[in-house]
Chain A
């Protein structure tokens, strides 16, 4: 009916969904494996990096962000900027006052 007249809705194909799915599962496996290995300071960094990658995949593909309006993408960026402000300034206070084990 009017669907063709409306702006083309991007439909994520099941193939893309499946690829993302497999990637996410791989991420879970990797992260468990990485946490059992002794990598010193890299441990939390790798684990967080995997988590951020997984989250990005879900956001971009499953949540359609890659094909969403610029406005949506910008808003998410703004939100993370504000969250980063909270995190970094609380850390600033913490680092200069009470870093490490009490």
Chain B
């Protein structure tokens, strides 16, 4: 691991550029009223980290309770509230905005050579809506919580619980608008504000991935909104839409809910896949294999993602014909994801690989997402799903794709773009170690859960038969290690803000437009509008650029 492509400027003479987006304006109001997409990205980064640790603390409570077979740490009702809030916070206030709202907000305009998004004020509004929803969700938690599970299944959520369903629903409704505004902004910007010469097929794959996720955000989220509104009306007035005693169909809620919530998982994972494309290309010094296939597969995942929602409802009472159709469609949606994994593998093949931290996270992603994705096939097969659904197998499946997949991709992205956002490098050895610790902790936490699920341990239960205890203990032990793995980056990244090495413009020698300007960037991103005359991931172009700069430096130093 002595081989590295990191190329830092001479640390004795290097300085952070005096004029950058962080120093251009000062004061709290310049942050709270900013229109600069980069500052908004940082605001989001701080807030989602905050919500992540709250969700993580709730996860810690869950694993603590599950150390013993009895529900001795908390009553079952409280346990229900803990896992519900864990789900709500992690999904709506961490995973959905994670990459798009932080890295996407920061880098998308730069990647297309624009000065900002098409609608900067809408971008800021999106953050305020996110904060409003998030704080409301926290308030709900403090004033009694909600215990229906994040899926708000009717008629439980409409008729049988007395907890804060309405306020949580409102919090999610508000956060949904935040998501819609982000997605809308992304779509419009990508279509209308690319620099001359930047055709669709020269875009970085990160942009394609965020574009696909944005389509899902814009078209899917309103249906969740309507589902929440109907639940609210049901709870307050008793309109009867989901009440069997009045002729309503509880399943109709689930159709509307999952029509959003399945595409939501693709909203969560697609931007992460975009990060992986960038990272794998940079650290194997090769263009992504099958660029067109990866680009189209992002859009394909988005489109097919709308067709499969009822695979969350196989045991809920949908008709057998619906089960058949949705099972078949679910098999289809696995194909584009697999295409991406193959393409990344072929990108690595015969590339010049160096094991910087982002690539370690990317490797973790590839392995863990593959396992998570393949177990999804077991769940998409209706027959096996009947046995595995609502057990820990499902819990393991979605944590493998969401945590082993998405969260690792998010960390890969944060580490990859940290030097550009802050101008500083983080300590490499420590970060590599943290990545490995995370990987080990993750596997120890969630792999036993596959076995537990197969053996029949139900999910969302505070107590379980004693024969399952040993696997649960492994899982909880892993959770502790995982927690350390997540805490370390927060610590050393914060440390690096003051003490990290100066990174320079392009420490990874990457090809994207965002790397062709100073670190941290200017408020207007580029001093002059860049011209795009090369393909994406064009390392030869990069070499020529670097040659030209070297010659220029020689000439000026001679003079």
Contacts and interface: CB of A to CB of B under 8 A. Distances in A.
Given A71-B191, A79-B219, A102-B247, A86 B259 contact: yes
Interface in B308-345: 309-310, 317-322, 325-326
B53 interface: no
B306 A96 contact: no
Interface stretch (A3-11, A42-50, A51-59, A87-95): A87-95
Contacts of B318: 93, 97
Interface of A: 71, 78-79, 82, 85-86, 89-90, 92-93, 95-98, 102
Contact of B319 (A71, A78, A85, A96): A96
Q: Which 5 A-B pairs have the closest CB atoms?
A: A97-B319, A96-B319, A93-B322, A96-B321, A93-B318
Contact of B255 (A82, A93, A95, A96): A93
A85 B302 CA distance: 13
B259 A96 contact: no
Nearest to B252: A90
A71 B188 CA distance: 10
A86 B326 CA distance: 12
Contacts of A82: 219, 306
A71 B255 CA distance: 30
B139 interface: no
Contacts of B251: 93
B307 interface: yes
Contact of B325 (A71, A78, A86, A92): A92
Interface in B179-215: 191, 215
B307 A85 contact: yes
B64 interface: no
B223 interface: yes
Interface of B: 191, 215, 219, 223, 247, 249, 251-252, 255, 259, 306-307, 309-310, 317-322, 325-326
A96 to B, nearest CB: 4
Given A82-B219, A96-B322, A97-B319, A90 B255 contact: yes
A89 B326 CA distance: 9
Contacts of B310: 89, 93
A100 to B, nearest CB: 14
B321 A89 contact: no
Contacts of A90: 252, 255
Nearest to B329: A89
B321 A92 contact: yes
A53 B215 CA distance: 27
Nearest to B326: A89
A82 B305 CA distance: 11
Given A78-B215, A92-B321, A92-B325, 18 more contacts: A78-B219, A79-B219, A82-B306, A89-B307, A89-B309, A89-B325, A89-B326, A90-B255, A93-B251, A93-B319, A93-B322, A96-B319, A96-B321, A96-B322, A97-B318, A97-B322, A98-B249, A102-B247
Contact of A96 (B215, B223, B249, B320): B320
B225 to A, nearest CB: 14
Contacts of B321: 92-93, 96
Nearest to A94: B319
A92 B325 CA distance: 9
B252 to A, nearest CB: 8
Contacts of B325: 89, 92
A82 B223 CA distance: 11
A92 B320 CA distance: 10
Nearest to A79: B219
Contacts of B320: 96
A89 B219 contact: no
Nearest to B215: A78
